[in-house]
Amino acid sequence: MFDNIHLATIAIIAANVLVSIKGFEDRSFLERYKFSVGGIRSGQKERMLTSGFLHVDWTHLIFNMLTLYFFANTVISRMGAPKFLGIYAISLAAGSLLALFFHREEPYYSAVGASGAVTGVLYAAILLQPTMNLYLFFAVPIPAYIFGIGYLMYSIYGMKNRLGNIGHTAHFGGAIGGYVTTLIFLPYLFETETLMVGLLAIPIIVLFILQRSGKI
């Protein structure tokens, strides 16, 4: 299963595993480097990046790393490892920035996890191969672009209704990072995948409209 994993993917997974294990074993380390609105606003800006390598438990870590594994090669094969790493890093930052924007008046809001960065890679992969099948509940095939649009619309719903202990905002910000960075790296997609570029932008436009109208 893992015989075709790229060195860049291995490096990211290794960094997440090592930092997460440190956080599992040392609660003070987790508290110091997790995403915290209060901590960031007090000047600890590094939390916006370090939080993306911490996880609450093994289940959280394994789910994120498996998702990364399944979609990393799609991006690497089309764009190369350096651009893949760029997408990962920018998506991580974009997820933290959007979370900070939406929760800026909540000093006790905190989060951890690579979900923003991983969602950015996922959305980049969808943009590159929009008609590939993804499997809902591991059984129902669904075109990737429909999954991507549906996932972000659900994220908006989750943001609006504060559903579960999930960083919906970071997921959405990561997807924006992956989407925009992929188009910057491969601008010809505007011509070759015009329809998909437009369709995948719909949730982003919806979020912008809702935010501007004060409905989220």
Written as six digits, the tokens of 138 are 């591991």
Q: What is the pLDDT of residues 93-144, one digit of tens each?
A: 999 999 999 999 999 999 999 999 999 999 999 999 998 988 776 678 889 9
Strand ranges inside the chain, DSSP E: 35-36, 110-111, 133-136, 140-143
Written as six digits, the tokens of 116 are 């923003």
Q: Distance (Å, rounded) from C-alpha 83 to C-alpha 85?
A: 5
211 CA to centre of own chain? 20
Q: What parts of the chain have a pLDDT lower than 50? A: none
| Three-state secondary-structure class, residue 110 | strand
pTM: 0.93
